[in-house]
Structure 1
Amino acid sequence: MIFDISFIVAVHMLTGSAVVLSGAMALLFTKGSSQHKVAGRLFVASMVLMGPVVAAGAWLSPGSISALGIFFVFFIVYLVVSGWSTIHRSEPGIGLLDIVAPVAAICIYIAGLMMGFSALGDEIGEDGLPLSRAYFFFSALAFLAMILDVHNIFIGGVRGKHRIIRHVWRLSCGLFFAVSSLFTGPGAIVFPESIRANPLLSAPQILVVLISIFWICRLSFTKQRVLSSEIEKETLKEDL
């Protein structure tokens, strides 16, 4: 069993590293480029793999991963998969994952509320704040995402730059949470104890936010015709 746990921990660390590195590359590369697509696929694949890895770790070693950690990972998986499903098709529209997305979001929302209320007054996180706040925060974000999922279905699928913005903000949000977990959250255990409290470890999180805002603003204020032309050119290069 010790070997199994050690193996799961190693896979967890490797998968987490792949999530952060591939996500960072996807965020930096030009949207629609072949490099962005390869990095994005690796990011989605490694993030999805993180779900069963965390579940296996929790099963093999009960208590080694907190309930909040499990909830946190599956919430990120939902964000990443729903964001990826928006853009991976050549034509906009509604697919199976788009229909499943609001169902998953409402389940996460309800689970977050239940876990948050159960944690009221008797559990404190490593930062000294009640764990219930974290549950309620992620639950509220899941509820907001669920509303957008329902709207996406109602209009038959977001189109144009709104489709790309939906893709960017969801994957960027997932990357932000993953980076936060690694540098200032539980994953910071990989760093020497002497630097874990260093404010510089917050820099990657800030960079993710700033770069994400840049891309969202660029997409929001770029004319649709110009934007579509740029993406078509990058797609054509990849096909050739």
Structure 2
Amino acid sequence: MISTISSLPLIGQLHFLVGVIGLLAGVTPFLVRKGGTSHRLAGRVFVVCMLLLCASGLYMSLTRSILFTAFLALLAGHAVTTGWMAAARITGRAEQLAAGVISLVAMTAAGSGLVVASLPSGTLNDLPPVAFYSLGGVALWIAGIDVLALRRGAANDRQRLTRHIWRMGFALFIASFIFFFGNNSVLPPVLRSPLALLTPVLSVIGLTLYASLRMRLGRRPAFPSGMKTQGRGEGGG
């Protein structure tokens, strides 16, 4: 394992190490008291690690002409940024900018699918057009949620914190999927079995769904100290 990692370029080694820290930090908020010191500290570490991962991942994807992972980096970057914005109560122009960015990602991903479909091989990096259409569809779905949230106006605490949870969870899902299925050559052999690779990714999905539904539908969700709900409201986001 050490020799495999050491054979990577420096940015690849840093990307891997930051990924390990980010995954550990990303899981921690699901397991500790919400709003506590551990929750806040782990959340901050996760946001910083994810932004570094997205930036380095985007750079490596573009320099190696791997368009699919470039879009994944943009999706994850948008998710963690808007998840942090929801927790920090950042609204207004920042929300409008975020909605514009993810809309642009959606159109570019879908357009890339059309370009791939026109290629003689019908693939790009061994991926068919449907892979890019799928990413475009996910980005378009998120853009739709963002636009609806802007039209709805100020969100109550339950809506805002649900948004925070699922977007952080979505970013963690992308990071864990890439880590375990895109970089498994640097993992020890015992962690390369399908079950070992799939378990952490499914665990992230399960934790995100549970925490999101508990926050959205629970009668007495766990809020940071001093925070009160303003009612359930309508819609998620």
- TM-score, normalization by structure 1: 0.81
Aligned AA (1:187): N
CA shift, 1:97, in A, is 2.3
Give the match for residue 88 of structure 1: 88
1:221 counterpart = 2:217: yes
Cα deviations by residue, 1:44-75 (Å, 9 ceiling, x for unpaired): 1111112332344356xx32x61111111111
Contact persistence 1:82–1:97 (CA under 8 A): no
CA shift, 1:144, in A, is 1.1
Aligned AA (1:78): H
Q: Separation in 1 of the partners of 2:190 and 2:26?
A: 27
- Structure 2 runs not aligned, ≥5 long: 1-5, 229-237
1:74-85 superposed matches below 5 A? 74-85=74-85
Q: What's the % identity of the aligned pairs?
A: 21
**Closer, same or farther: CA 207–194 of 1 in aligned 2, 3 Å:** closer
CA shift, 1:165, in A, is 0.7
Give the match for residue 224 of structure 2: 231
Give the match for residue 41 of structure 2: 38
Q: Which secondary structure does the structure 2 equivalent of 1:174 belong to?
A: helix
Q: Which secondary structure does the structure 1 equivalent of 2:224 belong to?
A: helix
Cα deviations by residue, 1:152-211 (Å, 9 ceiling, x for unpaired): 222223212111111111110111111111112x22121246753432210001111111
1:187-202 superposed matches below 5 A? 187-192=183-188, 196-202=192-198
Q: Which secondary structure does the structure 1 equivalent of 2:225 belong to?
A: helix
1:10 counterpart = 2:13: yes
Contact persistence 2:109–2:136 (CA under 8 A): yes
Structural RMSD (CA): 2.6
**Closer, same or farther: CA 162–8 of 1 in aligned 2, 3 Å:** same
1:132 counterpart = 2:132: no
- Structure 1 runs not aligned, ≥5 long: 236-240
Q: Which stretch shows the higher mean deviation, 6-15 or 72-81?
A: 6-15
Q: Separation in 1 of the partners of 2:131 and 2:50?
A: 21
Contact persistence 1:33–1:234 (CA under 8 A): no
1:102-141 superposed matches below 5 A? 102-120=99-117, 122-123=122-123, 130-141=127-138
Q: Separation in 2 of the partners of 1:134 and 1:157?
A: 35
Contact persistence 1:47–1:77 (CA under 8 A): yes
Contact persistence 2:58–2:73 (CA under 8 A): no
Q: Which stretch shows the higher mean deviation, 139-148 or 196-205?
A: 196-205
CA shift, 1:143, in A, is 0.8
Give the match for residue 55 of structure 2: 52
CA shift, 1:220, in A, is 2.2
Aligned AA (1:227): P
Q: Separation in 2 of the partners of 1:197 and 1:227?
A: 37
Contact persistence 2:58–2:69 (CA under 8 A): no
- TM-score, normalization by structure 2: 0.82
Cα deviations by residue, 1:220-239 (Å, 9 ceiling, x for unpaired): 2222xx437x422589xxxx
CA shift, 1:78, in A, is 0.6
**Closer, same or farther: CA 29–55 of 1 in aligned 2, 3 Å:** same
Q: Which secondary structure does the structure 1 equivalent of 2:29 belong to?
A: helix
1:179 counterpart = 2:172: no
